[in-house]
Amino acid sequence: MPVFSELPRIGGTLVWYCLICKRQVWLISHGVEADKEDEFLKLGRLIDESSYERVRHSVSFGDSKFDLLKEEKGVLVIGEIKKSSRSIEAARLQLAHYLYELAKSGIAARGELLFPEERRREDVSITEDLQSKLDEIYIEIKDIVVSSCPPKVQECKYCKHCAYKELCWS
């Protein structure tokens, strides 16, 4: 397991997982590979690659990777694509994290959460409330990451489709 001389930078994926399962935050940040052949991971990649083909995909910015990037009426728009709106609060905060990171660099942007299978879209703007929530999440992530062992396995509604289920439950 890696020993961190400095804390890993926090990307949107860690923000997302912090709201889904704390154990996943530890596993990912410690380089524990998920099962890449997991059917739900494959489905997620397929939806990412085949949706919204007219805009730029997978654009890196610092430690973040935006699913979509486009410009509308002179405004930068960041898109985050999800398989379903089941975890919409986590998705909202992941996207808010990207907007917050951009704002810290002086770049104004708005966000769009996209659920192509549900033909649904939600606009997200960074607010003081979201910034405060994110500041708390960053502290929580750092506490998990520096811990020498992962949080205990706790069954939750995400286990069934989690790429770590073999690791946690066998």
Closer residue to ligand SF4 (CB): 138 or 158: 158
Residue 165 in the binding site for ligand SF4 (CB under 6 A): yes
Nearest to 26 by CA among 166, 144, 165: 144
- How far apart, in whole angstroms, are the C-alpha atoms of residue 32 and residue 1? 9
- Which residues make Cβ contacts (< 8 Å) with residue 18, sequence separation at least 6? 25, 137, 140, 141, 144
- Binds ligand SF4 by CB under 6 A, chosen from 19, 21, 91, 126: 21
116-155 footprint of ligand SF4 as x/- string (CB under 6 A): -------------------------------------xx-
Under the binding rule (CB under 6 A), the answer on residue 24 touching ligand SF4 is: yes
Nearest-angstrom CA–CA distance, 91 and 160: 19
Structural contact between residues 66 and 78, judged by C-beta atoms closer than 8 angstroms:
yes
Choices 20-28, 47-55, 115-123, 138-146 (CB under 6 A): range interacting with ligand SF4: 20-28
Listed residue (31, 20, 27) closest to 168, CA to CA? 27
Instruction: Print the binding letters for residues 63-102 with ligand SF4: x by CB under 6 A, - otherwise.
Output: ----------------------------------------
Q: How far is the CB of 94 from ligand SF4 (least distance, A)?
A: 16
Tell me which of 10, 18, 23, 130 binds ligand SF4, using CB under 6 A: 23
CB 26 within 8 Å of CB 151: yes
41 is an interface residue for ligand SF4 by CB under 6 A: no
Burial label for 97, CB within 10 Å (0-12, 13-18, 19+), is buried
> Which residues of the chain form contacts with ligand SF4 (CB under 6 A)?
21, 23-24, 153-154, 156, 158-159, 162, 164-165, 168
